[in-house]
Amino acid sequence: MEADPENSFPEIETSFRQIVCLSFLLNAQNADGGWGFHPKSESRAEPTCWALQALRETSAASTEAVARGVRYLRATQLGDGSWPSTPEERTGCWVTALCCWTLQGTPDSAAAVMAGLGWVRDDWPQDSTPWRRFLAKFSTRSQVQPINNSYRGWGWTPGTSSWVEPTSFALIALEAPSDVVPPEAKRRRELGEAMLYDRMCSGGGWNCGNPRVYGVPGVPLVIPTVWALIALRHYGTKPENIMSLDWLDSQIVNIQSAGSLALAKICMEMCGGRWPADAPVLADLYERNGFLESIQVAAWTYLALSARSRWLARTPEKTA
């Protein structure tokens, strides 16, 4: 009989995951099937995605909740294939990539994912158009923020600049099986990966996307570093990945929030890093502020304390 990977966690972590995180997530689901950023807040695509990603790792008890959440996501997709950050909004944004990632593999979602990824493929950042790149040659700002705009990632909202987190989410979403990935996505992935490496901070790690401003090195942050490393995890032997994983490793003992700690744990496990013995404990950080009642932090914590057998399990093809 095969061992249940969920049973490999210490009992205290298992009970915290089940009693605190799982109950919190299940109780916070809204009548429309979605989740808000907090219990009793309005349903939005982003927290719904995180809750679904966590609940998909649970036992059958969450099946109905997951099905209702998936229906909410599909119902809030816009006609052009994108998802807005809030249902009232009629313009899609970065959250489209997260929705596509979340819906991948769920029954009857292939068409929604294909439409979403088509939108992602066509969502070019505005800062790096050929005209903008020409203008940038005459701008003093290019000396202030020396980045290579021929590498093109994704922005938070259409018509703006490339940033680390939305680019990472788009790259993860585009790891989808080839039958739902639109043509020409490969070239976009290559440009996006190059953009991430270009925006890495000098000692490893990433912040929102400013490795240097006015000659001063930017300071990396945990969450953008986690998402960039996960998006680039197939290049784990590159010096940039190793240096960034080392930077993340050096930060873990000083992390002061459950959200960053949970994501750092997931990232270290996915990228082959070691988890320090003196790392803070997620349950202890929960005691401080109760996650500030954040659905996404509860979901990340659940994921960090589970085997994630359904989470980014597939190894995508490496790009050149």
Partner 1 sequence: MCQHTLIPSFQRPPSKVVIRRVANYEQDLSALIHESLAAFNLPVKGKTILLKPNLVGLDPLGVMNTHPAVIAATRESFLRSGAAQVLIGDGPALDRDTEAIVESVRLREYIGTLASVFIDLNVDDVARVTLKTHASRLNELYLPKTALGVDFLVSMPKLKTHHWAGVTLSLKNMFGIVPGSCYGWPKNVLHWAGIDRAILDINAACRPDFAIVDGIVGMEGNGPIQGTPKASGVLVFGNDPVAVDATCCRVMGLEPERVKYLSRAGSLLGHLQVNKIQQLGESVASVETNFTVLPEFETISH
Which residues of this protein are in contact with partner 1, per CB under 8 A? Answer: 36-38, 41-42, 44, 46-47, 85-86, 88-89, 93-94, 126, 140, 144, 155-157, 159-161, 163, 165-166, 207-208, 213-214, 216, 219, 221-223, 255-260, 288-294, 296-297
- Tell me which H or E stretch contains 294: none
Q: Phi and psi for 273 in degrees, rounded to 5?
A: -80, 165
Taking the least distance from each CB to partner 1, the nearer of 58 and 152 is 152
Residues in the chain: 320
Of 150 and 289, which has the nearer Cβ to partner 1?
A: 289
Query: Judged by CB, which is closer to partner 1: 82, or 207?
Result: 207
The residue among 94 and 247 lying less far from partner 1, judged by its C-beta, is: 94
d(CA 76, CA 180) in angstroms, rounded, equals 19
Q: Kindly tell me the burial class for residue 312, based on how many C-beta atoms sit within 10 Å of its own C-beta (0-12, 13-18, 19 or more).
A: middle
16 vs 291, which CB is nearer to partner 1? 291
Is the separation of the CB atoms in 24 and 258 below 8 Å? no
SS3 assignment, position 53: helix
CB of 310 to partner 1, least distance (A): 25
Query: Which stretches of 76-184 are DSSP H helices?
Result: 95-103, 110-122, 130-136, 141-144, 164-173
Q: How far is the CB of 238 from partner 1 (least distance, A)?
A: 25
CB of 43 to partner 1, least distance (A): 10
Nearest distance from C-beta of residue 102 to partner 1, angstroms: 16
Q: How far is the CB of 211 from partner 1 (least distance, A)?
A: 13
Say how many Å lie between the first and final Cα of the chain, rounded.
40
